[in-house]
A and B are shown apart, each in its own frame.
Chain A
Amino acid sequence: MSMNNQGRPTAPAEDSRRRTVAPGTVAPEELGTISGDRGLDHEEALIFELGHGAVGVDLPDVKVADDRLGGMRRKAAIGLPGLSEPEVVRHYVRLSRMNYAIDSGLYPLGSCTMKHNPRLNEKMARLPGFGDLHPLAPGSTTQGALELISQLMTWLTTLTGMPAVAMSPKAGAHGELCGLLAIRAAIAARGENRTRVLVPQSAHGTNPATAAFAGFTVDEVPAKPNGHVDAEALKAKLGPDVAAIMLTNPNTCGLFEGEVKEIADAVHAAGAYFYCDGANFNAIAGKVRPGDLGVDAMHINLHKTFSTPHGGGGPGAGPVVLSERLAPYAPIPLLVADGQSFRLIEDQAAVPQGAKPFGRMCAFHGQMGMFVRALTYMLSHGRDGVRQASEDAVLSANYILASLKDVMSAPFGDGPCMHEALFDDSFLDGTGVATLDFAKAMIDEGYHPMTMYFPLVVHGAMLIEPTESESKESLDRFIHVLRGLATEARAGKTERFTGAPRLAPRRRLDETAAARKPVLRFRPDPLKEAAE
């Protein structure tokens, strides 16, 4: 096999299973192992099955004879397993090795923005002045934290061209809720009753869910065949009962909604508000200001655009920038600067004149740990780096689109895309290769699959977002692998696809059985318990 100068193969490895085995011997993989493990891949039991009465902390045994628990002392054991520190460490290290991660490979999940997570962010968030700071500590002891939030607010309002920002929402969907509640309050303050929210078909599921959560009815706006929202249909739906539209821009097809300003004007003329889903802000940060486009509210996923890690599904942070019209309704707490010092207004009744907070999103003041990481990232990049990152993300997505559209099918491939390249599964028609099998075959090639079956407006969607974090060499290798898979599929060679993955810690899992008879927690085997 040929290798490049980094020692990486320049062509897909020959399938090791096809190598010849001397007659009369058995290939090791068919032989299995005595342990059940395979080299570096260890099987790992549940922590509850590993416990044996050891303890992983050294704490004094303080007897509480005369407790003051009001007669509410626990009577039965909890049932937690006991393990020493080395056992716990090994358990979780072994589990970690069953995960794919952006640190170990390109993670092309469209709409999810799996970019590099700098470790400086982690180090800064762990400075005792941030990590070991109590949210209700006296204001005189938290000035640096408030100053940091204030700096981050400046970055967010400057990058978006918006006058205000609510910092407390804890993730994107929570930010959506914050934005819609501000809109609700603004409408109520005008003495109006508007109940309908327009949501394009291509929207993230959180948009309609949030609108319903906030007490609105959802009215879906169709997409045009070119992947853009149907602006005419949208305008036709506007009326005195419409509270807002929720538009993602760039949209989930990876396209910029060029008619956004006209849409915003029409929405405002109808007395409604423009909520922008900022999940894709990473395509335009440092180049386009949503405030210039007529946006009234937009959440910013700090865990996407500003690199705070996804952590296996969270935590995130979803500050919401607000227009002049919505700013008065921002929830408490509010941060105010008195000269050089900062203070939080946590009392609904003590807000400055003109402020009419709609309420409170959560206890305390938001995801400070994420704020530290995001500001660290912003200061590292600077405005020039943020702009370059957006350009590189868009360039990389277009490079993938241009390099794959002849072998895969790109429904909107005639023009450039933004930060993600959308394909569909029509290139698999008649090949005998199922869409999901194609995605799962990527796992055997060492890649996390792209986002599948989303957005819903494209049948068999495959959405690829490379982000700005990949080198050209990494992109070329990814393209090479996907071209190889697409070419084999189109040639009707189904072997690699059917039943994939084969080389992952687990093969295809039975999701139907999991949902039919849910097992959501470990319970000791009653027979084994009885025997003991």
Chain B
Amino acid sequence: MRYLPLTSEDRRAMLARIGAPDVDALFRDVPKAALVPLSAFDLPDTQGELEVERALSRLAAKNVAAGAAPFFCGAGAYKHHVPSSVDHLIQRSEFLTSYTPYQPEIAQGTLQYLFEFQTQVALLTGMDVANASLYDGSTATAEAVLMAQRITKRGKAILSGGLHPHYAETVETVAGLWGPVTRSAVTPGLPEDIVALIDDETACVVVQSPDVFGLIRNLRPIADAAHAKGALLIAVVTEVVSLGLLEPPGAQGADIVAAEGQSIGNGLNFGGPYVGLFATREKFLRQMPGRLCGETVDVEGRRGYVLTLSTREQHIRREKATSNICTNSGLCTLAFTIHLSLLGEEGLTRLACINHAKASSLADKLAALPGVEVLTQAFFNEFTARLSKPAAQVVDQLAAKGVIAGVPASRLLPHDKSVENLLILAVTETNTDDDFAALAKALQEVL
């Protein structure tokens, strides 16, 4: 077996030093009946690299990659172009095959990029501090609600109807243990009146912008209303490229920002691994979940970085920790950091402008088609259209024609009859005019 260096002769010599007759003698604490023979496992035997590559490639070939078709899916995961150097750099052995940087003297590479990542996230979101990542946007949102419940010592969480339904379900599953979680009603493409729901028992209001239907929200009035009642505003961003063009949540009064960072540096990967961004105000620092990297000096006075404020974390605080999270999204944060470094201020702004311009162009094109009504008027790179037929059916018909038209709202809200005909379409820099023409043509054929 190519990954196992020990030879039979090595094994014999090692057993001799140990003084054991055979390897099973080392498993002597295992009850005899529990040691099963190889034949107990109905699984294939070892294979060479060539055979494995063939088997996996066969499976991959049964899928239609986003890059292989005119493609308009978003709703929390976005197809962006990632520069080649990003993937090259994150595969360097020293990044890919290192552990959590608990020995800072020999982990400055990881620690410094985490410090850069935290700075980038704080800048993008307009917040004071950011952590070194959580699993993804949805779990970051759930952690934000738990943090708000701790800070306010209140249980109630109000979720905007525009919050990605998967995020809402994740929050309900975890934070629902600690207090009532309610979702406000929403009309796709229009802001709901969430302010009216805030009361003296409310821990937090969770609002996504752009929301799951693509609508850009003004968070300021919601923040003011929440603060007036002693509640916190949690702002959620699922398309982080939008922050290249939009007012950051921190400038609109958000207390915690939970975001999905996949759009920068990371591929679609059928849903994971992604990277959860988490930022907040300085005053809430010690209530944050997850790892934090901080600057310090070594005994020779040279600047260096360490994991810090660990007394919040599970490996020190155990059942009193702010979260149970241990493993986070290390390598995905590196991809994010490198891609954002390549973009810089100018690149990110340009990228955001391209996304917005292309989405505007497609919205106009589709609005001119019979059987299509564009519902979202204020959007970044994603909008919702009402079709004259159920959107799920249209998406399947278009997939058969080689066009991946977007995400039917019914996939996310299966019980809401009112969204049956709604299609959520995302447009990025990867889309071409040919893609738009193919989509329009295919839609005309089926509507």
Contact = CB atoms under 8 A, between A and B. Distances in A.
B59 A383 contact: no
A80 B120 contact: yes
A59 interface: yes
Given A92-B338, A142-B270, A395-B15, A513 B73 contact: no
A69 B79 contact: no
Interface stretch (B105-113, B196-204, B222-230, B433-441): B105-113
Contacts of A71: 218, 378
Contact of A380 (B49, B113, B296): B49
A299 to B, nearest CB: 11
Interface string B105-135: 1111110110110111011100001101101
Contact of B407 (A136, A311, A331, A449): A136
B420 interface: no
B14 A399 contact: yes
Interface in A286-306: 286-289, 292-293, 301, 303
Interface in A77-110: 77-83, 85, 88-89, 91-93, 95-104, 107, 109
Contacts of B287: none
B327 A171 contact: yes
Contacts of A208: 314, 318-319
Contacts of B87: 126
A391 B6 CA distance: 11
A44 B268 contact: no
B253 interface: no
Contact of A147 (B59, B109, B209, B318): B59
A260 B30 CA distance: 9
B294 A514 contact: yes
B170 A120 contact: no
B277 interface: no
A176 interface: yes
A403 interface: yes
Given A385-B3, A507-B105, A311 B67 contact: no
Contacts of A402: 17-19
A131 interface: yes
Contact of B23 (A78, A103, A395): A395
A43 B146 CA distance: 40
A363 B273 CA distance: 11
Contacts of A474: 5
Given A122-B91, A127-B57, A82 B30 contact: no
B356 interface: yes
Contacts of A172: 326-327
Given A55-B346, A80-B348, A100-B103, A359 B119 contact: no
Interface in A361-397: 361-370, 372, 375-376, 378-385, 387-389, 391-392, 394-396
Nearest to B120: A80
Interface string A504-516: 1111111101110
Contacts of A170: 135-136, 139, 272-273
Given A61-B350, A394-B23, A128 B106 contact: no
Contact of B292 (A75, A358, A364, A518): A518
Contact of B341 (A47, A261, A379): A47
Given A72-B247, A209-B323, A507 B139 contact: no
Contacts of A236: none
B429 interface: yes
Interface stretch (A16-24, A111-119, A482-490): A111-119
Main secondary structure of the interface of A (DSSP, over half): loop
Interface string A156-194: 001100000000001111101100010000000000000
B342 A331 contact: no
A378 B85 CA distance: 29
B325 interface: yes
Contacts of A116: 3
B164 interface: yes
Contacts of B324: 173, 176-177, 206, 209-210, 212-213
A214 interface: yes
A311 B297 CA distance: 25
B323 A213 contact: yes
A347 interface: yes
Contacts of B315: 204-206, 454
Interface stretch (A7-15, A237-245, A266-274, A312-320): A312-320
A480 interface: no
A469 B305 CA distance: 30
Interface residues of A, number: 209
Nearest to A358: B173
Contacts of B292: 518, 520
A99 B166 contact: no
B330 interface: yes
Nearest to A518: B294
A218 B340 CA distance: 42
A520 B247 contact: no
Contact of A383 (B15, B41, B76, B178): B41
Given A363-B166, A403-B17, A511 B30 contact: no
B395 interface: yes
Nearest to A523: B119
A443 B328 contact: no
A93 B41 contact: no
Nearest to A446: B106
A507 B295 contact: no
Contact of A89 (B59, B89, B218, B311): B89
A273 B378 CA distance: 51
Given A57-B343, A59-B350, A510-B298, A391 B3 contact: no
A475 to B, nearest CB: 8
B63 A362 contact: no
Given A64-B353, A74-B245, A382-B47, A141 B64 contact: yes
Contact of A79 (B27, B57, B123): B123
A127 to B, nearest CB: 4
Given A74-B245, A135-B77, 14 more contacts: A129-B61, A129-B64, A136-B411, A170-B135, A170-B272, A205-B313, A292-B33, A364-B272, A367-B272, A379-B44, A385-B1, A396-B14, A443-B105, A514-B296
Closest 9 CB pairs of A and B: A70-B378, A129-B60, A364-B271, A144-B62, A359-B173, A311-B331, A135-B271, A56-B342, A315-B273
